[in-house]
Structure 1
Amino acid sequence: MAEVEGKSRIAIVGGGLVGALAACFFAKRDHQVIIYEYRSDLRVEDSSGQSINLALSFRGREALKAVGLEDILVKQHGTCMRGRMLHDKKGKLKEVLYDSVKGNCIYSISRRHLNIILLDAAEKYPKVQINFNKKLVNADLEKGKMKFFNMKTGGIEDAEADLIIGADGAYSKVRKIMAKRPLFDCAQTYIEHGYVELSVPSGKNNEFAMTGNNLHIWPRGEFMMTSLPNEDHTFTGNLFAPFHVLENLNTPVALLEFYAEHFPDFLQLIGEQRLVQQFFEKNPQTLISIKCKPYHVGKTALIVGDAAHAMVPFYAQGMNAGFEDILLLDELMECYNSDFAKILPKFSELRCDDGHAICDLAMYNYLEMRDLVTRKSFLLRKFVDKVLYTFFPNSWVPLYSSVHFTRISFRDCISYKKWQDKVLRLSLWCFAIFFVAILAISLS
């Protein structure tokens, strides 16, 4: 495999968000980068399809900052969300701030806008080349050899690289090739819930129809609605529900009755005609979680982002975790002077268990969003977290804050939450024993 002026030739399979960001990081270190993307250039034709809005938080922002893109995305294209706005069936609202102590927030951002900005940024580097309509059909990962199907001409094309980066999403071809190797563990889980995307128009005078600085949630136990604000003052909403529920919404009458019963205020915002039209435009989408290990093959191949750790979207960390993958990879390149024989095994060592941890957290957060947020026990725990976080901001960091507003490893976030639970249980027992002792003394 040819070296280019002492630098490596990097092939990135997948020109989505993580792949485009990876190209920027490698090019910044003067490596030659070629992106192979099976879709058409979305800057020319919109091939993005249905997708859940993205929520940008600290991990993702740190990666974007490292290539000079944080400000343009946050200030020009991001819509600040300071907390959850909970809607009950009667339309009563309750705001739960993400960080009432330090004022941290997350940003709603359009996947399409973000993808365009990252592709444009990657192409500004002279050593980045983007090839669209190229679908990977096979690869020898040890030798760095690949075969691509040209979706324009119908021909097969050969390619070669020193390092193959699989950033080709949850249904990654690179991961499937890795899965044929011995000692590669991989598990995929489809949850029994799907989603349908809906768009809420702007309100009067082109203003937000609801509060524009919140993630809106309609928790209903078994299912829920969410809605994220967009920079054009519309909202991107999603109904998440078990497939047996979605399958019963098979006529306009059934759909309207369902929304009138469970989401009457949302129905009023979107309107009956628009709801029916959008709901039946496409079939409900599936939600998948992927855990695998290791993430690398020798010094010649690596999977990142959803290819390595696809997760359900309920912790809003899929993109952020993918971006942090690239930031970690860049930090290891700095540490090991781009020696991929050392970098790739270390990446797997540091990241695999973290990838499993955030997949588990994302699963848990679906239960929290659709059900637990309405329970008094959950709200009490949030209140206790808030009080302790207020008085001990550096010692008692709530789970949500540690995940969204720090770069503490996801494993450590879970371990810290377990420690907090243990402390609170012990404190409760001590208080109960003390109360019983006082009561006994007063009665004696």
Structure 2
Amino acid sequence: MEQTDGEIAVVGAGLAGCLLACFLARRGHRVALYERRPDPRTATVERGRSINLALSERGLDALRRIDLEKRVMAEALPMRGRMIHPVDGETEFQAYSATADRAINSISRGALNNALLDAAADEPRIRIAFSHRLTGLDPFTGRMRFETPDGEVAAEAAVVLGADGAGSAVRAQLLARGEVNEHVDRLDYGYKELTVPARDGEFALDPQALHIWPRGTSMMIALPNPDRSFTCTLFWPLAGAGSFDALDNPHAIAAHFAAVYPDLPPLAPELVREYQENPVGVLGTVHCDPWQAYGRVALLGDAAHAIVPFYGQGANCAFEDVVELDRCLDECDDDFAVALPLYQRRRQANAEAIAEMALANFVEMRDKVASPLFQAGKKIEHALERALPGRYVSRYELVSFTTTPYAQVRQRVRRQHQVLAATAAGVATLAVAGVAALVRRARR
């Protein structure tokens, strides 16, 4: 048994796990960071499963707190709005903010993970164990078992924190012991990645935009990379017409893209090959309760509340979990038995709120953004933001450019919409009354 008295075990050296380990180390804790994969900085990365991330204010706030923002953002590219690609006609740019000067940041998951791993490796209080797959956990004692290339390894920690993603092994262990309940809402949609390479050493598309090809029941997005390529992600139904299942040969693939995404094939010479080789990923929302057991084991990020990626908030939300746990430890004098239940009470409603908003944003992105009515509504919304600064703020602005808790964002937007609806109704009533008065005068 590897003795780790007083050590905090973080399972999962992905984005949230590395950040969490850095926060804990800077609080003075010794941290064991376990990862089932080999070191991704030196191992071959699996193609087609990254989904570029959109890092925004919530994630940046977490990085600033431990002086990592500049280090991480060296690999990021700002995107100031959406570029809409219709089937026919010209593209249209839709700014994210009323002032058109705020941006979310495109960064590859791998680049961000590597930067955070480097930061964790630089901390003397953190030791990292790669190729350690969790196969056993006693939440009452903190005893763990790992499968490694050299055989089974046992370890023990004072606290075990699961930051090991949507398919969390820590959550699975808690579920097997009846410590948590779990429900996964899977979408009947999947995702697949493609690439638009640089053209003559330059970006083939506008690099300051998140590109969207909305097609009603499906869509494609593209985010820029520092090497001047774009990572494209298809979000399509799994079955039926226009689905991943429906395209099963090169001719069908090429014909579909030529008809539905006509501006893409000239930009993506390897499109058909990549489509055939890259896997289809699954999409869903994880609901779990409770997030902790015995004040000794807890779940963070996707391990507790994985969401669909359509608001670009998965990593940002996970980073906020880390900030909230750090805040709770401050208030509880680093007593994890008190801090872990408090962390769940403060974060669970927010996780549920962003999960709901992410699903709603899928409908907006794949369908509504191309609608003239939607575009007119966005212009009105931005005009209201400029006319009523601080008093009227759009949902997108609140989610992406502030750290207002997600649950409060949802409540505030509902109130704003109610006020606008009531105001519009009042104006309409006055207008009708005015017309009626004019008619009465005309009849006299």
Under TM normalisation by the shorter chain, which class is it?
A: over 0.9
Shift of 1:252: 0.8
Q: Where in structure 2 are the equivalents of 1:48-197 lying within 5 Å?
A: 48-49=46-47, 50-74=49-73, 76-101=74-99, 103-150=101-148, 152-153=149-150, 155-180=151-176, 184-197=180-193
Q: Pick from 222, 225, 228 the counterpart of residue 217 of structure 2.
A: 222
Shift of 1:3: 8.2
Shift of 1:293: 2.0
Aligned to 1:286: 282
Kindly indicate whether residue 7 of structure 2 is the aligned counterpart of residue 9 of structure 1.
yes
Secondary structure at the residue paired with 2:245? helix
Q: Distance in 1 between matches of 2:191 and 2:376?
A: 30
CA-to-aligned-CA distance 1:6-33 (integer Å, 9 cap, x gap): xx41001111111011110011111010
Q: Pick from 22, 34, 37 the counterpart of residue 36 of structure 1.
A: 34
Q: Distance in 1 between matches of 2:392 and 2:99?
A: 12
Determine if contact 1:39/1:47 at 8 Å carries over to the other structure: no
Distance verdict in 2 for CA 1:236–1:3, change over 3 Å: closer
Q: Where in structure 2 are the equivalents of 1:237-256 lying within 5 Å?
A: 237-244=232-239, 245-256=243-254
Secondary structure at the residue paired with 1:321? helix
Q: Distance in 2 between matches of 1:157 and 1:318?
A: 32
Aligned to 2:20: 22
Q: Distance in 2 between matches of 1:148 and 1:45?
A: 20
Q: Where in structure 2 are the equivalents of 1:255-274 lying within 5 Å?
A: 255-271=253-269, 274=270
Distance verdict in 2 for CA 1:395–1:2, change over 3 Å: farther
Q: What residue identity is the alignment partner of 2:224?
A: P
Secondary structure at the residue paired with 1:118? helix
Q: Distance in 2 between matches of 1:412 and 1:91?
A: 39
Q: Pick from 314, 319, 342 the counterpart of residue 318 of structure 1.
A: 314
Moved over 3 A (4+): 1-4, 180-185
Kindly indicate whether residue 185 of structure 2 is the aligned counterpart of residue 209 of structure 1.
no
Aligned to 1:429: 425
Shift of 1:339: 1.1
Comparing 292-301 with 133-142, which one deviates more in the overlay? 292-301
Q: Where in structure 2 are the equivalents of 1:300-339 lying within 5 Å?
A: 300-339=296-335
CA-to-aligned-CA distance 1:214-246 (integer Å, 9 cap, x gap): 000000001111000001110000111101211
Q: Where in structure 2 are the equivalents of 1:327-406 lying within 5 Å?
A: 327-406=323-402
Shift of 1:48: 4.4
Shift of 1:186: 2.0
Q: Distance in 2 between matches of 1:290 and 1:174?
A: 14
Q: Distance in 2 between matches of 1:322 and 1:26?
A: 15
Secondary structure at the residue paired with 2:191? strand
CA-to-aligned-CA distance 1:294-326 (integer Å, 9 cap, x gap): 211122011001101111111000001011111
Shift of 1:114: 1.0
Secondary structure at the residue paired with 1:99? coil
Q: Distance in 1 between matches of 2:372 and 2:388?
A: 24
Q: What residue identity is the alignment partner of 1:32?
A: R
Shift of 1:100: 2.8
CA-to-aligned-CA distance 1:355-384 (integer Å, 9 cap, x gap): 111111111111000001122332232122
Shift of 1:102: 6.8
Shift of 1:183: 7.1
Q: Percent identity?
A: 37
Q: Pick from 290, 295, 299 the counterpart of residue 295 of structure 2.
A: 299
Structure 1: state its 5+ residue gaps: none
Q: Distance in 2 between matches of 1:46 and 1:183?
A: 36
Q: Distance in 1 between matches of 2:195 and 2:115?
A: 23
Structure 2: state its 5+ residue gaps: none
- What root-mean-square deviation, in Å, do the aligned CA atoms of Structure 1 and Structure 2 show? 1.5
Shift of 1:91: 4.7
Q: Distance in 1 between matches of 2:296 and 2:402?
A: 31
Shift of 1:108: 0.3
Shift of 1:394: 1.0
Aligned to 2:271: 275
Shift of 1:103: 2.1
Shift of 1:176: 1.7
Q: What residue identity is the alignment partner of 1:112?
A: G
Distance verdict in 2 for CA 1:337–1:189, change over 3 Å: same
- What's the TM-score, normalizing by structure 1? 0.95
Number of residue equivalences: 435
Shift of 1:182: 5.2
Shift of 1:2: 7.7
Shift of 1:348: 0.6
Q: Distance in 1 between matches of 2:89 and 2:191?
A: 22
Q: Distance in 1 between matches of 2:95 and 2:287?
A: 31
Q: Distance in 1 between matches of 2:228 and 2:289?
A: 42
